[in-house]
Structure 1
Amino acid sequence: MTKTSDQHAQMHTGAGFIAALDQSGGSTPKALGLYGVDANDYDGEEAMFAEVQKMRERIILADDFSGKKVIGAILFERTMTESINGKKVPDYLWENCNVVPFLKIDKGLEEENDGVQLMKPMPDLDATLQAAAKAGIFGTKERSVIHIAYADGIEQVVAQQFEVARQVIAAGLVPIIEPEVNIHSETKAAAEDILKEVILKHLDTLADDQNVMLKLTIPDAAGLYDDLADHARVVRVVALSGGYSTDVACEKLSQNTKMIASFSRALTEGLQRSMSDAEFNKALGTNIDKIYHASI
């Protein structure tokens, strides 16, 4: 098998979860704050990204961060060109950890309209995708947000996601379509029902050689997305933690047997820069173990 087919097989049937290590400009200060790095500890954006890269590197170098439980990892665009032990991060992930690398490609969210937030324009997307393919990236991730159960808004989100997905597929990569439903929405369950039907409609428009992954908020109705997981054009359905604690996210995920985790904040919960390597690795290993068992 080729590298790409090995990675595809791992994402389609591998036991484990996807680590979301793609904190971007807006979410980085909060992620660093939870890690024990105050905004006063760094000066400017470059120093901030250097601090979060140190955190990501510490996670990736931990013994439990391997393809035995972590089958994929989503990277921020800057991370794609960073190195660990003299090797570019995407290559290090696959060759040293047996973890499939993905790239976050969205540039953030538009203001809310029709109860949703669409993705901001990505004028340099083709160049980004070419660079990603050259760097050994397997797939991409792009996020929108749904706040209320309004069919027109949800259709706009899914249509935009599939438009971008086709561009990603044309570049030889596998897109993770992420129309997040806000966990605090008063119409969350109704929004999820609409979202499922709209996604199914758009999946049926894909050609036989066009495959996608889906990253969805853990639904209120257990098993709601099983039909999506079974669709011929879907490689895997993964779950975002959406602000739930690690324990709550894992408990909810365990009720959805055809979804695996793709957690960010829940993965790093409790990790502190001040920890010794032994303490850090133990805490991370505990989180990895919880998320892994909820995913299999």
Structure 2
Amino acid sequence: MSKEDQAARMRTGDGFVAALDQSGGSTPKALRLYGIEEDRYSGEEQMFDLIHQMRTRIIKSPAFTGDRVLAAILFEQTMDRDIDGKPTSAYLWEERGVVPFLKVDKGLDDETDGVRLMKPMPGLKDLLVRANAAGIFGTKMRSVIDAASPSGIASVVDQQFAIASEILDAGLVPIIEPEVTISISDKAEAESILRDEIAKHLDTLPADRDVMLKLTLPETANHYKPLIDHDRVMRVVALSGGYSRDEANDRLSQNTGMIASFSRALTEGLSDQQSDEDFDAQLKKSIDSIYKASVAG
């Protein structure tokens, strides 16, 4: 299957995107939720070995297939590692029927003007070359919006689309992720500003350049429908953002055309101590519920 096949799958397929891209800063928390405390490992190498074991267990589970999971977003170290002797991205596509994406941002700068922009990415060009060589279809990069600041939100969207242009030049499809923090008091207002800023940029994209969007589940159902319907948008996916899986699924099911790209909500209830049978049963329950919410609209 070619990139055209993968693009068609991402554009119209039923299912959701699994976010398996916790990086250095978020890995200890992800391991802790999985039942592995920090006294179980020493140093980054052991930590990343353990998180790869966790991701491998998820990817190899009978529940994790292209029937429900359209795509998976990987951390750079996961792309560089193997599953059963095969590069992770190749294993995902060839063995599971799941389209591989890569997280490319290097984390967040300190907050300014109500937002956290992405840190510089000096090695992005080389990383995109490696991603293409590994058979990666697209990328993901995250910024954070902590207030309904028009100038701050404009700077987030400007930065996202500027880097998206480089990613498109490399022949990959960027997932643009300007996350709105779910706990802020002016969340709905921030979402209105964000929608309008994204629409401005989408309207300037050439006809041969499509992007994906990853957005916080909105306060008003179908708030992002104009973006979902935009000709330059391949797909809009939702992040769970700290909502429980049940609440995230409930909110998602109210948004027509939006599908999940959950991380913590996907792995909620999974544990290192579970037998394979219990692990697979819990993961199947999670995947089935997220799939159901993703196709509800």
TM over 0.5: yes
1:145 shift after superposition = 0.3
Q: Which runs of 5+ in 2 are unaligned?
A: none
The equivalent residue for 1:159 is: 158
Note if 1:73 corresponds to 2:93.
no
The equivalent residue for 1:212 is: 211
Give the aligned residue type for 1:158: V
How many corresponding residue pairs? Answer: 295
Note if 1:32 corresponds to 2:31.
yes
TM-score, structure 2 as length reference: 0.99
Distance between the aligned counterparts of 2:132 and 2:207, measured in 1? 21
1:4 shift after superposition = 0.2
Note if 1:143 corresponds to 2:142.
yes
The equivalent residue for 1:175 is: 174
Give the aligned residue type for 2:88: V
Q: Deviations over 1:244-264 (max 9, x none)?
A: 000000000000011000000
Residue 178 of structure 1 aligns to a residue whose secondary structure is strand
1:203 shift after superposition = 0.5
Q: Deviations over 1:76-96 (max 9, x none)?
A: 000001111111000000001
The equivalent residue for 1:94 is: 93
1:64 shift after superposition = 1.0
Distance between the aligned counterparts of 1:295 and 1:21, measured in 2? 18
Note if 1:290 corresponds to 2:284.
no
Q: Deviations over 1:217-264 (max 9, x none)?
A: 000000011110110100000000000000000000000011000000
1:127 shift after superposition = 0.2
Give the aligned residue type for 2:144: V
Q: Deviations over 1:36-67 (max 9, x none)?
A: 00000000000000000000000000001011
Distance between the aligned counterparts of 2:63 and 2:9, measured in 1? 18
Give the aligned residue type for 1:30: K
Distance between the aligned counterparts of 1:205 and 1:161, measured in 2? 14
Where does 1:36-75 land on structure 2 (aligned, <5 Å)?
Answer: 36-75=35-74
The equivalent residue for 1:275 is: 274
Q: Which runs of 5+ in 1 are unaligned?
A: none
The equivalent residue for 1:13 is: 12
Residue 180 of structure 1 aligns to a residue whose secondary structure is strand
Q: Which runs of 4+ in 1 moved over 3 A?
A: none
Q: Deviations over 1:141-198 (max 9, x none)?
A: 0000001101000000000000000000000000000000000011000000000000
The equivalent residue for 2:237 is: 238
1:3 shift after superposition = 1.1
Give the aligned residue type for 2:130: A
1:32 shift after superposition = 0.1
1:277 shift after superposition = 0.2
Distance between the aligned counterparts of 1:109 and 1:86, measured in 2? 33
The equivalent residue for 1:129 is: 128
1:34 shift after superposition = 0.4
The equivalent residue for 2:195 is: 196
Residue 194 of structure 1 aligns to a residue whose secondary structure is helix
Distance between the aligned counterparts of 2:203 and 2:132, measured in 1? 26
1:101 shift after superposition = 0.1
1:205 shift after superposition = 1.2
Distance between the aligned counterparts of 1:185 and 1:210, measured in 2? 33
CA root-mean-square deviation: 0.5
Distance between the aligned counterparts of 1:230 and 1:252, measured in 2? 19
Give the aligned residue type for 2:60: L
Give the aligned residue type for 1:149: A
